[in-house]
Structure 1
Amino acid sequence: MTLRPRLLFCDIDRTLLTQAHALLPKVAQAIRRAEAAGIRVVLASARSPVGVRRIQHSLGLDGPAICFNGAWSGTPGNRRPWYGYGLDRQTALSVIDCGRAAGLAALWYGTDTVYALEPDASAARWQAAVTQDCLDLVNAPSAIPEDPFKIMLVARPEDLAAAQFKLAAACGGTVSITRSGPGLLEVVRKGVNKAVATAQIAARLGLTPADCAAVGDSENDIDMLRWAGLPLTVANGVEAARRLARFTGGHCDAGGLAGVIDWLLSRTAHPRSPTLPPLPDAVPVSGRTPD
């Protein structure tokens, strides 16, 4: 018997949304069908809590979410995370220096503000416009009042592979570096990824990987797809995601996630009650890197 999952962890950009960052009506309707059928949907993104909350609101979701590639998880409407794994300031500055040496623009992500450190803030303005984050232009890191949850480095897509190699050689011992999209490198604390956060949320509900599905398209989704009992992707997913996936939907620009959800709903309903217990409003924040 092939059972429906009880929890679906869903990436946002180029999975839930199109490449132009639009939410198609057919995808929004599919998310609502999944929730109505007892599959709780948890968004899992590189975006900030502010950016994720806006997407949740448009879908009628109000539960937990994973932000900053797993460095922050909790209820996005609450600034205090359940689990938070930020970068210390010295490590963040080292990453920025390495990125600059490789010709990359750096964005410093606090809880609800992205800080731009570059004289030319065009990359920061573009990214903040996409995610609707609050943007603060600063002249020096000393002007930033908080340590970051992540550093985003922006490059031309054709330069990204070489830049990632250089950054990993210089800083890879202290941070995790993944690609989240064309020209984007995501840098978080070593050992942090979406899989860590999905495991924490599932465990609080008494669920195992076998109870969970995950859908994503990019390099920063691979750990999450490996963790989930039912890995899924869309046609525009990277090769590694397509190799792992038990089912591949259509392209995100055609609302491929709707087909993924329809495939999930074609599976047998879970024999237990479809209603999962509510998650707590808060749990202790952990600053220790997860094992």
Structure 2
Amino acid sequence: MHVIHALISDLDDTLLTAEHTLSPRTVRTLQRIQRQGVKVILASGRAAASMRPYVETVGTPWPYIACNGAQIVDAHSGEVLASSELPVALAREMLAWLKARDVYAQLYEEDDWCYDKPCRYADDYCRSSGVMGRRVDDLAAYIQRPTAKLLAVDEPERIRALIAEASDAFRGRLSVATSKPYFMEVTSLEATKGNAVKKLAAMLGLTPETTICAGDSLNDLSMLSWSQLPVSVSNARDAVKAVAWRVAGNGQQDGIAELLDELIPEGYTC
């Protein structure tokens, strides 16, 4: 039996159902392993405000990772304990680049997200995140301080092309990632889930040998690469499954809970 002291898990398509909820079984398992001494930490591309209901449902007291690693947030107070944000000038440059290509974009600030182009993408994001966005006249003019993340949304084929183009155009200046086929997520160069996990590990005394990191998408690869117990779900991208120590069942159908029940049975203590 492997010694497991912590679980760091992505949310969407890894722990959440297709309806963006935590199933009763998954909640029971996560709460059980916490009672047995395992730290449960959530790590998502979502903004902190969108993650908070899941943190509260799981009942984890440990800091969580938001905006693809741009923020580490205290679970009790909501205070940002560590951050790696996009400078204003660079954020404006990226927003102008996206606007020139007629791509919908939004930015994040504290418990809010803002957009300047009303369309179905804004409506869809509001429904999936559970957080109302705020419309402004012009994002580039509006932004006055560093931001945790910019998000561009378009059809999957176009997003693939935009990621390739932006990665080349902004190489060495910022990070471009994706958690869903229709998202391009832009953060500072230092803001990755992997870097945030390393910071949390130093804070909490976690080790790669005893920490499961679980995810499904390309933005999870950096934290899975840190762990010696990397887990993917069966619905994960092929590149993620390729680095996994174990592949759980479907992330939208309690796959992680099933694997945790096997790896951390009743009676296990750490």
- TM-score category (smaller protein): over 0.9
Q: Please give the per-residue CA displacement for 1:152-192, whole angstroms capped at 9, x wherever unaligned.
A: 11011122211111111222321111111120111100122
Partner of residue 129 from structure 1, selected from 116, 127, 130: 127
Residue in 1 aligned with 2:23? 24
How many percent of aligned residue pairs carry the same amino acid? 27
Residue 145 of structure 1 deviates from its aligned partner by: 5.1
SS of the equivalent of 1:82 reads strand
- The one-letter code sitting in structure 1 at the alignment partner of 2:120 is S
| Code of the aligned partner of 1:255 | D
Instruction: Report what 2:241 is aligned to.
Output: 242
Letter in 1 for 2:215: G
Give the secondary-structure state (helix, strand or coil) at the position aligned to 2:133. Answer: strand
Q: For structure 2, which runs of at least 5 residues remain unmatched after alignment? A: none
CA contact (8 A) 1:4 1:267 kept: no
Equivalence for 1:279: none
Instruction: Quickly say closer, same or farther: Cα 1:169–1:52, change in 2 above 3 A.
Output: same
Q: Which residue of 2 aligns with 1:232?
A: 231
Residue in 1 aligned with 2:109? 110
Q: RMSD of the TM alignment (CA)?
A: 1.9
Q: Deviations along 1:230-282, whole A, 9 cap, x unmatched?
A: 00011101111111111111112321111121232159946xxx3xxxxxxxx
Report the Cα distance in structure 1 between the residues aligned to 2:172 and 2:41, rounded to whole angstroms. Answer: 30
Which amino acid in the other structure matches residue 19 of structure 2? Answer: A
Matches within 5 A, 1:98-247: 98-118=97-117, 120-141=118-139, 142-144=141-143, 146-247=145-246
Displacement of 1:113 after TM fit?
A: 0.6
Unaligned segments of structure 1, at least 5 residues: 275-291
Q: 1:250 is aligned with what amino acid?
A: G
Mean CA deviation greater in 229-238 or 248-257: 248-257
C-alpha spacing 1:207/1:76, structure 2 compared with 1 (3 Å): closer
The amino acid that maps onto 2:136 is V
Contact 2:7 2:41 in 1 (8 A): yes
- Greater shift after overlay, 3-12 or 199-208? 199-208
Alignment-mate amino acid for residue 179 of structure 2 = S
Residue 13 of structure 1 is matched in structure 2 by 12
The answer to which of 104-113 and 144-153 deviates more is 144-153
Distance in 2 separating the partners of 1:223 and 1:19: 24
Residue equivalent to 2:93: 94
- Once the two structures are overlaid, the 10-residue window that deviates more, 162-171 or 105-114, is 162-171
Q: What secondary structure is seen at the aligned counterpart in 2 of 1:181?
A: coil
- CA distance in structure 1 between the aligned counterparts of 2:211 and 2:155, rounded to whole angstroms: 35
Residue 38 of structure 2 is aligned to residue 39 of structure 1: yes
Q: Is the 8 A contact 1:86 1:148 kept in 2?
A: yes
2:14 alignment partner, SS class: helix
Q: Could you give the per-residue CA deviations for residues 57-87 of structure 1, whole angstroms, max 9, x where no partner exists?
A: 1222232100011100021453431111111
1:253 paired residue number: 252
User: How many pairs align?
Assistant: 269
Determine if contact 2:84/2:190 at 8 Å carries over to the other structure.
Answer: no
CA distance in 2: counterparts of 1:78 and 1:137, whole angstroms: 27
Runs of 4+ in 1 over 6 A off after TM superposition: none
| Secondary structure, aligned partner of 1:41 | strand
Whole-Å Cα distance in 1 between the matches of residues 92 and 18 of structure 2?
31
Taking structure 2 as the reference length, the TM-score comes to: 0.93
> Cα gap change, 1:268/1:232 in structure 2, threshold over 3 Å: closer, same or farther?
farther
Partner secondary structure for residue 150 of structure 2: strand
Check the 8 A contact 1:116/1:138 in 2, yes or no. yes
